Structure 1
Amino acid sequence: MSRNVNPSGKNQYNPVLKFDDEKLVAALRSYHREQLTSNTKISARLLSDHGIQMSDSTVKRRRKRLGLTGSGVTTTALGQDIAEQLVLEQMDQDPAKRHGVRTIQAKIAFNKEIHLKRDFVSAVMHEHDSDGFAGRDPTCKKIRRDPKFPIGIHERWAGDGHDKLYKIGYPLWAVVDDATGKWLGAWIVPSNRMGEIVAYLFLCLVEKFGGMPLQFTTDCGSETTKLFGLANALRNIFHPEYDLEELPAHVYLRSVHNISIERQWLRLRLDWGDNVVMFFNKGVEDGVYNAQIPQQYELCQWLWPMLLRTELQKFVDFRNGARVRLDKTKPGPSGMSRNEAFSLPENWGGRDCLLPVDTEVIRAIKEHMGGDALLEFTSAEFSARAQEVYDSLKIVNLSLENVWGVFTAMYPLLYGAEAL
Structure 2
Amino acid sequence: MSINNNPTGKNGYGAKNYPSDDILKAALQQYASERLTVAQKRLRLAIEHSLEIGATNLWKLERRFLIPNVRRPPPDEIATEHVLQIVRADINQRRGTGTIMAILANQGVMLPRDFIRKVLQVHAPEGLNMRFPGSGKIKRSQLSARGPCHQFHADGHEKLGAKALTSMGGVGLDIYGIKDQWSSFIVHLVVVPNNRLADTIGHVYLDMVEKTLSIPITMVTDKGSEVGHLFAHQRGLRQAYSADIDVAQFPPVVQIKSVHNTPIEGLWHWFLENSGRNLKDTIVSGQTNGIFHPGDPTHAQLFNYLWPKVLQIQLDNFVTFWNNHRIRTQKSKPNMSGTTPQHAFIAPDPAQAEKCAIAVEQPVVDALRRQIATSRADSMRFVVGPFAEVADEAYKAIGSPDLSNIDEAWNIFGMMLPHMHM
User: Normalising by structure 1, what TM-score?
Assistant: 0.89
1:352 match: secondary structure = coil
**Mapped contact 2:155–2:176 kept (Cα < 8 A):** yes
Distance 1:102 1:231, change over 3 A: same
* Residue matched to 2:104: 108
> Contact 1:332–1:348 (CA<8 Å) still a contact in 2?
no
**Secondary structure of 1:236 counterpart:** helix
Partners in 2 of 1:140 and 1:212 — Cα distance? Answer: 35
The answer (yes or no) to whether the contact 1:175–1:183 under 8 Å persists in 2 is yes
- CA positional deviation for 1:171: 1.2
Taking the aligned partners of 1:392 and 1:16, their CA distance within structure 2 comes to 48
1:86 maps to what in 2?
A: 82
Task: Give 1:373's aligned amino acid.
Answer: D
- Measure, in 1, the Cα distance between the counterparts of 2:221 and 2:351: 26
> Matches of residues 377-396 of structure 1 in structure 2 within 5 Å?
377-396=382-401
Matching of residue 401 in structure 1 with residue 407 in structure 2:
yes
The Cα offsets for residues 117-171 of structure 1, whole Å up to 9 and x where unpaired, read as 21111111111121122222444476562x4342121111110111111124001
Residue aligning to 1:28: 28
SS for the counterpart of 1:308 is helix
Residue 62 (structure 2) pairs with residue 57 (structure 1)? no
Query: Secondary structure of 2:179's match?
Result: strand
| Equivalent residue, structure 2, for 1:14 | 15
Letter matched to residue 160 of structure 1: D
Instruction: Determine if contact 1:16/1:54 at 8 Å carries over to the other structure.
Output: no
Quote the Cα distance in structure 2 between the aligned partners of 1:16 and 1:58: 13
1:156 and 2:151 correspond:
yes
Determine if contact 1:148/1:331 at 8 Å carries over to the other structure.
yes
Q: Answer whether contact 2:102 2:324 (CA < 8 A) is retained.
A: no
2:91 is matched with: 95
Aligned: 1:185 with 2:188: yes
What amino acid is aligned across from residue 116 of structure 2 in structure 1?
V
Q: Which of 309, 312, 317 is matched with 1:309 structurally?
A: 312
Counterpart for residue 354 of structure 1: 357
Q: Is the 8 A contact 2:233 2:368 kept in 1?
A: no
> Which of 267, 272, 293 is residue 264 of structure 1 equivalent to?
267
Q: Is the 8 A contact 1:43 1:55 kept in 2?
A: yes
* Alpha-carbon distance, 1:16 to partner: 5.6
- The reply to whether residue 280 of structure 1 matches residue 277 of structure 2 is no
3-state SS in 1 of match to 2:226: helix
Question: How far apart are the structure 1 equivalents of 2:360 and 2:101?
Answer: 41
Counterpart of 1:23 in structure 2: which amino acid?
Answer: I
- What is the letter of the counterpart of residue 408 of structure 2? N
Helix, strand or coil for the counterpart of 1:57?
helix
Task: Flag the 1:26–1:144 CA change in 2: closer, same or farther, 3 A.
Answer: closer
Give the fraction of aligned pairs with identical amino acids, expressed as a percent. Answer: 27
Letter in 1 for 2:84: L
Structure 2: segments with no counterpart, 5+ residues: 1-6, 166-171
1:376/1:51 CA distance change after superposition, 3 Å = farther
1:47 aligned residue? 46
CA distance in 2, matches of 1:204, 1:316: 16
- Check conservation: 1:341, 1:347, Cα contact below 8 A: no
Structure 2: distance between partners of 1:353 and 1:366: 24
Separation (CA, whole Å) in 1 of partners of 2:43 and 2:335? 19
Q: Distance in 2 between matches of 1:144 and 1:263?
A: 8
Three-state SS of the structure 1 residue aligned to 2:152 is strand
**2:153 alignment partner, SS class:** strand
- Are the structure 2 counterparts of residues 199 and 42 from structure 1 closer, same or farther at C-alpha, using a change threshold of 3 Å? same
- Structure 2 residue matching 1:351: 3-state secondary structure: coil
Q: 1:241 aligns with which of 233, 241, 244?
A: 244
Over the aligned positions, Cα root-mean-square deviation in angstroms equals 2.4
Residue 131, structure 1, aligned to residue 131, structure 2:
no
What is the letter of the counterpart of residue 349 of structure 1?
Q
Range moving further from structure 2, 130-139 or 282-291:
130-139
In the TM superposition, residue 256 of structure 1 has moved relative to its aligned partner by: 3.6
- Distance in 2 (CA, whole Å) between partners of 1:256 and 1:360 is 36
Q: In 2, Cα distance between the equivalents of 1:238 and 1:209?
A: 15
Distance 1:128 1:320 in 2: 28
CA contact (8 A) 2:183 2:345 kept: yes
Q: How does 1:191-210 map to 2 (within 5 A)?
A: 191-210=194-213
Greater displacement, 208-217 / 333-342: 208-217
Q: Check conservation: 1:172, 1:186, Cα contact below 8 A.
A: yes
Instruction: Find the aligned partners of 1:53 and 1:106 in 2 and give their Cα distance.
Output: 27
Letter in 1 for 2:41: I
Q: Which residue number in structure 2 is paired with residue 3 of structure 1? A: none
In 2, Cα distance between the equivalents of 1:135 and 1:350?
Answer: 36
Deviations 1:249-271 (A, max 9, x none): 10112334322212111100110
Q: Distance in 2 between matches of 1:104 and 1:11?
A: 42
Using the TM superposition, name which of 321-330 and 40-49 deviates more.
40-49
- CA displacement at 1:223 relative to structure 2: 2.0
Deviations 1:321-368 (A, max 9, x none): 000001112123211000110111135521221122222121232244
- Contact preservation (8 Å) 1:171, 1:190: yes
Whole-angstrom distance in 1 between the partners of 2:103 and 2:82: 10
Measured after TM superposition, the shift of residue 414 of structure 1 is 2.2
When residues 410 and 52 of structure 1 are mapped into structure 2, their CA distance, relative to the original with a 3 A threshold, is farther
Moved more, 267-276 or 123-132: 123-132
Deviation of residue 87 (structure 1)?
Answer: 1.0
Matches of 1:96 and 1:347, distance apart in 2: 41
Deviation at 1:243? 4.3
Instruction: Return the alpha-carbon distance in structure 2 between the equivalents of residues 396 and 177 of structure 1.
Output: 35
Number of paired residues? 403
How do 1:208-247 and structure 2 match up within 5 A?
208-247=211-250
